Amino acid sequence: MLSILILLVVTEKNRTLSSDSTPRQMAEDNEIDKHEEVQTDENKDSEKTAETQDVEKETETKEAEKTIEEKPDEKPVETKDAEKATEEKADEKSVETKDAEKATEEKAEEKPEETKDAEKTTETKDTEKPEETKDTEKATEVKANEKVVYLTFDDGPTASTFEILDTLDKYNVKATFFMLEPAMKTYPKAVSRTVKDGHGVGLHGVTHDVNKFYQSAESALNEMQVAQKTLQDISGVKTNLIRTPYGSIPYLTNSFRDVLKENKFVIWDWNVDSSDWSVSNKKYVQNIIEQLKQLDPSKHSPIILMHDRSGTASELPTLLNYLKDNNYQAEIIDEKLEPYSFECHDRCYPITQAQ
């Protein structure tokens, strides 16, 4: 019985407790439900906002596409206007080009007259020039046919030197004088004039005595050095050109030649001998002419040996006229030229053997 009472009491208590907690639980449940509803509404609003945004974006995209579609429609008009403007400019340029071409054609039409005048003037000048051209061609032919000749005079200066210089000056001819040292001292004015007139000068020694000059290599060298100093003292000109007395054969042996060359002296002989010292005055000119005809100028130019004497001076114009008529051009010998001298070929020997 007691157990039943206890059970009843417990049951009632539990019922009471249960009835007390129900409203609270219901309130809590209501709050939960409301909260869930709020969240659901918020979610719906979010979804709605997202949808709205998607719709708006889609709308904007469509409007943008529409705008893009509309712009191409607008551009062709601009393009057409640009093309039209380009065509108009092209037409304008074409007109300008045509005008320019027309102007060029007009100038081209105008120029022929000027060209004709220029051609006419050229023809006139050509007509005026033939005589000058012919003279020039003639002068060129003469120069092409000119043959060089070297006129040389030994043993001077003398009283006849001035006559020789006058004749050479008259014919505008140059020569080379190989002078003796004592004669230079005797006629210093002739030496000075020879240099002043532009003639070549060389040395011929002092004694003109084969026994003294060719006594030794040293004696030959000494004579040339003395003559060199005297010429320089009188004229201010120093020369190394020499011609030994009677030529370099037979007494100028190789030992003599070596000594002279070591002291920078340059030996010059001749290839045309006038023999003016031993024949009549007119005869020497004929001797020269005959030798000139036999000499081949392509191998070596004529080097004519003459002497500074009155007989040679008197007939010199005859020789110069012949040279001029036969296109010979006289030039001087200088140290730039390749020297011409006799070669021994076993023909040279000391003067002591000749004695």
- 156 membership: H or E segment, kind and range: strand 147-156
- Tokens 């974006």 — which residue? 57
DSSP state of 267: E
DSSP state of 332: -
Q: Which residue among the candidates 300, 307, 334, 346 is catalytic per the annotation?
A: 307
Distance CA 238, CA 223 (A): 15
- 35 counts as catalytic: no
For 261, other C-beta atoms within 10 Å of its C-beta total 11
Can you say whether the dihedral through the CA atoms of 245, 284, 239, 230 is positive or negative?
positive
In 322-337, which positions are buried (b, 16+ CB within 10 angstroms) versus exposed (e)? Answer: ebeeeebebbbbeeee
Q: Are 227 and 179 in contact (CB under 8 A)?
A: yes
Distance CA 303, CA 330 (A): 10
- 154 counts as catalytic: yes
Q: Which residue among the candidates 154, 155, 269, 276 is catalytic per the annotation?
A: 154
Residues forming the active site: 154, 307
